[in-house]
Structure 1
Amino acid sequence: MKSIIVGGGKIGYYLLKTLKERNFDVVVIENDKRVCQSIAEDIGVEVICGDGTDIDVLIDAGINDAEVVAAVTGADEDNLVVCQIAKSIFHITKTIARVNNPKNIAMFKKLGVDKTVCSTAVIANLIEGEFDKDNFRIVQTFERGNMILVEIKIDKGSLWDDSFIKDLILPKDCVVTSILRNDKAIYPRGNSRIVNDDNILILTSSNGLNDLRKQFRGTKEK
């Protein structure tokens, strides 16, 4: 699965580094040749030097094979254009835009951008969440990306299957807010049991989400 990052500045650089460490197939588009060279040497990802709002440049970057496009330049107008092109022309299912001016968030959403965030860590989690969406789904972000509501699908034999809420060892900054079962919401109490096919809503921080995903990828000991 492939993601394209438009913008290789400070935010884009650390985003690329994070995704590279998580072993994702990622390509960056950046119009500054010196920045392109620096990214290629330091991080070792594929770099396309050009304008991310140019359709031909996006095609060269492999947008036809991409599932996620994240526009993280320092210009909100460019980020909006990139996401609109990705949606309307290339039918990308997930577009993420960095918003430098919080006043633009409502406008971005009205114009079809899937997610608007300010934090590098949150953008990385949104991209990873898209590739891990069978079990993890980021429902919403709050406080400019500092708080995240995530939904986790419980599979048979997974870490929390057939467990009581009171017995869960949750990472720091993680709170179970609801259990969704058969289209009904259950308020979680200590003696509430989690079963196969439940969906668990958890409010967490960016760091908490990383720890939660690492923990949950384990399986129950037999």
Structure 2
Amino acid sequence: MRVAIAGAGAVGRSIARELIRAEHDVMLLERQLDHVDSKAIPEATWVHADACELALLEAAKLETYEVVIAATGDDKANLVLSLLAKTEFGIRRVVARVNDPRNEWLFDPSWGVDVAVSTPRILASLVEEAVSVGDLVRLMTFRQGQANLVEITLPGNTPLAGKPVRKLDLPRDAALVTILRGGRVIVPQSDDPLEGGDELLFVASVEVEDALRAAVGV
């Protein structure tokens, strides 16, 4: 997959390294010349360009990429790039970094954003997840489909203990995607039994979260 990343700071470089390890084709766009260092990640294509300038994005052939990640430290720049990527270049998937949580409401499909990633929110969610048993914790929002990745940790005395996954009466717009049990990551099958302490990860629309809580007895 071809992925263009705007912002070659610590965040952008880290993302680039992970994607290259996964054998993706990566381009890094960086406005500040002193941040352009092809020796740091020689496998990436480096471009000195302001990601908010349409002509420079055209010169970088942004339309040939499948995913754009707006990872600069400036929310305005991330929004402008997201909109340009979606409307001018028809990019299939646009992921944008939210630096200031107060701006998070702007990062939606009207600005071309498919997935908004807010580091403060993720960290807060992880803290919540670490201390919350028997409650629903939102880990990530998928803006395009108005759905969330949510986590529910079953209490030790859950009435679901020993029951197979197929017994979960989930609402229509919710899906169990993973069970975390100790050090294991379990792709749930219909006959897999549930246990107290299981961390259940669901993708669910906002409207059915209350029904999801009820389905797992929390």
Q: TM-score, normalised by structure 1?
A: 0.57
SS in 1 for 2:46: strand
Deviation at 1:17, TM superposition (A): 1.3
Q: Distance in 2 between matches of 1:173 and 1:3?
A: 35
Alignment correspondent of 1:200: none
Alignment identity in percent?
Answer: 26
Q: Distance in 1 between matches of 2:12 and 2:194?
A: 39
Whether the 8 Å CA contact 1:30–1:49 is kept in 2: the answer is yes
Deviation at 1:56, TM superposition (A): 2.5
Q: Please report the RMSD computed on the Cα atoms of aligned residues, expressed in angstroms.
A: 3.5
Alignment correspondent of 1:85: 84
User: AA paired with 1:70?
Assistant: I
Deviation at 1:167, TM superposition (A): 7.9
Q: Distance in 2 between matches of 1:3 and 1:85?
A: 15
Alignment correspondent of 1:19: 19
Q: 1:152 to 1:22 in 2, by over 3 A?
A: farther
Alignment correspondent of 2:200: 175
Whether the 8 Å CA contact 2:96–2:116 is kept in 1: the answer is yes
More relative contact order, 1 or 2 (CA 8 Å, 6+ apart): 1
| Over 2 Å off, 4+ runs | 59-62, 147-153, 159-163, 176-179
Deviation at 1:33, TM superposition (A): 2.1
User: AA paired with 2:50?
Assistant: D
Q: Does 1:166 align with 2:193?
A: yes
Alignment correspondent of 1:42: 40
Whether the 8 Å CA contact 2:99–2:118 is kept in 1: the answer is yes
User: AA paired with 1:23?
Assistant: E
Alignment correspondent of 1:54: 53
Q: 1:161 to 1:10 in 2, by over 3 A?
A: closer
Whether the 8 Å CA contact 2:8–2:30 is kept in 1: the answer is yes
Q: TM-score, normalised by structure 2?
A: 0.58
Structure 1: 5+ residue stretches without partners: 123-138, 154-158, 180-184, 190-222
Deviation at 1:61, TM superposition (A): 2.7
Aligned counterparts, 1:66-215, within 5 A: 66-109=65-108, 110-119=110-119, 141=140, 148-149=149-150, 164-166=191-193, 174-175=199-200, 177=202
Deviations 1:28-59 (A, max 9, x none): 1002222212xx11222110011111122222
SS in 2 for 1:12: helix
Structure 2: 5+ residue stretches without partners: 123-137, 142-147, 152-174, 178-185, 205-211
Whether the 8 Å CA contact 1:17–1:43 is kept in 2: the answer is yes
SS in 1 for 2:66: strand
User: AA paired with 1:28?
Assistant: L
Deviation at 1:112, TM superposition (A): 3.5
